[in-house]
A and B are shown apart, each in its own frame.
Chain A
């Protein structure tokens, strides 16, 4: 099986590569080439940083169209991580109003800081799986994942597969057909993260 991590000049790609390699996936590539991306069995869309920087870089590399074509029309499985998931929304309010890829209808909004909770939401939070999915199959109930974000994905609950509590309830995993997104960093979430990535790899095989 061939896994490709989309490289568009942002994000800590190395840590995702390290995590995937730990699971014994020998064929993992980091690329922005159309040919390599279309030959992949599954994709990972990373993302660290400001939403607008990420969308700018996607556009600059011509990746918006390539990815939309592969994901929406060719139905290639994709896992978006952190901002990589947020990019799938229609728009984001981070530092203004910016357009996203619009794959799963939703808006990226700032976390509403209630009860003197610090923002960004940084650290290990328990997630609650609201809709069972192949990707979560190996996850133990009460598992913690590492979060580091100030904005969250607001969308219809029919797309939501997991939530967590931080003042309000945040959508932390979304899914629509072959598209999966997680707000936390599985590559930085110790064993729980590896279990989730293994779930994604199994799902790719099943797709």
Chain B
């Protein structure tokens, strides 16, 4: 069975991972390389690396940075930031990207999706849409100008699929950094409109939110940025919690499946009896 994905997003500004809130406030978190390495060790299913300034500064994401992050990455890496043509997509693949994600360069003209599909295949072209919920009308938000447009999110998604997108990354601006949970209604409406995989992003604040979006909608993945950065083994703990409700991939060496975890993602204490058992358990080190 195909498992739904838990995806971590590294939002990068000036080559530093930042915490983003409502698309306008940013706090520094740390080095992208170290985040990528930790997330890999903690069992993430996929990584997104997004440079939020690249398009505005009319340049491509730093190739050296992509190369460094890719070298730490044993899971798929999707790269986004300032991509304008298929030559640049080729450059990104050369430095270790597995997929690319485009947003600003397709808002008026989807040619890059069409050409990318022809040259690299649909499966490595991800189209990203920033959505803003205005009284249950989902409109495309243009982060470039910081304004909401008149375009309908669903029509835009259909257009992107027709042009050659292999996945849609839907980012809910109204919930970005809010820790309120994902917009399940948006996800469900979108899944009905397109036949390619959807990744939901924006609003994750606790493991329960990820369970809700994965269980109550047909999205293929739940992405989160801020939420994963601030505690040790965040991904392993989150995935162990989520796995109790919906089966996801649990292949990491860090197994929290036997631990009591509450819906805020806090680990409880094992009983004295169980702790004693662990005391004498010999762990075998695997050499691959």
Contacts and interface: CB of A to CB of B under 8 A. Distances in A.
B76 to A, nearest CB: 5
A192 B251 contact: yes
Interface residues of A, number: 49
A113 B195 CA distance: 9
Interface string A121-148: 1111110000000000010000110111
Given A14-B70, A125-B2, A48 B121 contact: yes
A119 B76 CA distance: 18
A150 B76 contact: no
A188 B70 contact: no
A198 interface: yes
Interface stretch (B25-33, B51-59, B88-96, B173-181): B88-96
Interface string A1-31: 0000000001111110011001100000000
19 contacts: A11-B93, A12-B96, A18-B73, A48-B121, A48-B124, A50-B120, A53-B120, A95-B118, A113-B195, A118-B195, A120-B122, A122-B220, A125-B3, A143-B251, A148-B124, A150-B166, A187-B74, A194-B74, A195-B288
Contacts of B253: 191
A152 interface: no
A204 B252 CA distance: 27
Interface of A: 10-15, 18-19, 22-23, 48-50, 53, 83, 94-95, 113, 116, 118-126, 138, 143-144, 146-150, 165-166, 185, 187-195, 198
A191 B288 contact: yes
Nearest to B2: A125
Contact of A198 (B95, B198, B288): B288
Given A12-B97, A19-B74, A125-B3, 11 more contacts: A11-B93, A14-B96, A49-B121, A118-B195, A120-B167, A123-B45, A123-B220, A124-B5, A190-B74, A191-B74, A194-B288
A183 to B, nearest CB: 12
Closest CB pairs A-B (n = 7): A49-B120, A120-B123, A14-B96, A124-B249, A144-B249, A118-B197, A148-B123
B43 A190 contact: yes
Contacts of A123: 2-5, 45, 197, 220-221
Interface string B86-110: 0000000111111100000000000
A83 B288 CA distance: 26
B195 A148 contact: no
Contacts, number: 131
A202 to B, nearest CB: 11
Contacts of A49: 119-121, 124
B196 A12 contact: no
Given A113-B195, A190-B75, A191-B288, A165 B1 contact: yes
Contacts of B97: 12
B278 to A, nearest CB: 22
B4 to A, nearest CB: 7
A125 B118 CA distance: 26
Nearest to B93: A12
A163 to B, nearest CB: 13
Nearest to B116: A49
Interface in B192-222: 195-198, 218, 220-221
Contacts of A19: 74
A75 B94 CA distance: 30
B76 A185 contact: yes
Given A113-B195, A144-B249, A188-B98, A124 B167 contact: no
B95 A118 contact: no
Given A14-B67, A188-B98, A118 B196 contact: yes
B71 interface: yes
Nearest to B199: A122
A126 B249 CA distance: 9
Contacts of A10: 120
Nearest to B194: A118
A121 to B, nearest CB: 7
Given A23-B288, A123-B3, A125-B2, A190 B252 contact: yes
B43 A120 contact: no
A145 B191 CA distance: 24
A122 B197 contact: yes
B1 A146 contact: no
